[in-house]
Amino acid sequence: MKIGFFGAGHMGSAMIQGLIASGKIPAQDILVKGGRSQTAKKRQKELGFTLIDQLEELTEASLLIVAVNPAGVLPIIQSLPAAVTDKKIPLVSVAAGVDIAEMTEVLGSDYPLAHCIPNTPVSVNEGVLGISYSEQLSAADKEIIDQSLQLLGSLIEIDEPLLGIVGSVAGCGPAFVDLFIEALSDAGVFYGLNRELSYQIVEQMIKGAAELALQSKKHPGELKDGVATPGGTTIKGVVALEKHGFRNAVIEGVKGTME
């Protein structure tokens, strides 16, 4: 199955990387139309996808993914040639802030559409992808969209107005976790761990803690209590974090993204 992409910037290439890494979509079956600054051309050398010139070449695709800046989405779908729109190839936009209603105004209410907010871990098939579908979407078109995006991680159907907060928590979240990784590793280095080892320990710890939370389905407070021996070191650390407003800082970070 061929997948057409508009844009191979940060998100487009993360998704392309994940699709190729899944082993289900050969690199040459990913057809990419790039923008003005030749970003896609540069990524093509590294990822091996097929760069296209003519939009008509997208008629070979079974799915179209629009991964450009929000302002570019409607102009792109307005420019789709009849050869593509007549085939009603399902189209997924991953742009924040352009909703299905706006895309439907351009393509018509019977065009199969979805609005998806992924995050960068899609590149290693561990993404979170919030998704909303157009009302008229057939089961067959939904299957094509779902089968492809599920290769990239956890696909979660959600009401479209909530995609904004999914974008903040899951889309911006990796940057927050990266800050945490860096800070915790700095603390490890402060107490004598070498830098590389400190990153390795912290990254594996976060992966393990997330996996434990996912698999055990326990409340995070219960998991925290399981680590915190009465009068022990962990609870002293937790109290110090609370004193410095750790949880409030995280919530304010998300509020900052929603402004």
Ligand X SMILES: NC(=O)c1ccc[n+]([C@@H]2O[C@H](COP(=O)([O-])OP(=O)(O)OC[C@H]3O[C@@H](n4cnc5c(N)ncnc54)[C@H](OP(=O)(O)O)[C@@H]3O)[C@@H](O)[C@H]2O)c1
Contact assessment for residue 99 and residue 160, using Cβ atoms and an 8 Å cutoff: yes
78 forms part of the interface with ligand X (CB under 6 A): no
* CA 171 – CA 154 distance, rounded (Å): 13
The SS3 assignment for 132 reads strand
35 forms part of the interface with ligand X (CB under 6 A): yes
CB of 95 to ligand X, least distance (A): 3
CB of 71 to ligand X, least distance (A): 9
Residues 89-128 that bind ligand X (CB under 6 A): 94-96, 117-120
72 forms part of the interface with ligand X (CB under 6 A): yes
Around Cβ 36, how many Cβ atoms within 10 Å? 5
Name which of 87, 44, 36, 96 is nearest 66 in CA terms: 96
**Stretch touching ligand X by CB under 6 A, among 19-27, 33-41, 124-132, 209-217:** 33-41
145 forms part of the interface with ligand X (CB under 6 A): no
* CA 67 – CA 33 distance, rounded (Å): 10
* CA 137 – CA 68 distance, rounded (Å): 23
Contacting ligand X (CB under 6 A), which of 2, 3, 4, 7? 7
Q: Which is nearer to ligand X, 7 or 90 (CB)?
A: 7
Contacting ligand X (CB under 6 A), which of 29, 33, 90, 100? 33
253 forms part of the interface with ligand X (CB under 6 A): no
5: Cβ contacts below 8 Å, ≥ 6 apart: 12, 15, 16, 30, 31, 32, 33, 49, 64, 65, 67
Contact assessment for residue 130 and residue 166, using Cβ atoms and an 8 Å cutoff: yes
132 forms part of the interface with ligand X (CB under 6 A): no
Contacting ligand X (CB under 6 A), which of 34, 112, 173, 188? 34
* CA 20 – CA 48 distance, rounded (Å): 9
CB of 79 to ligand X, least distance (A): 8
Instruction: Give contact residues for ligand X (rule: CB under 6 A).
Output: 6-7, 9-12, 33-40, 67-70, 72, 76, 94-96, 117-120, 167, 171
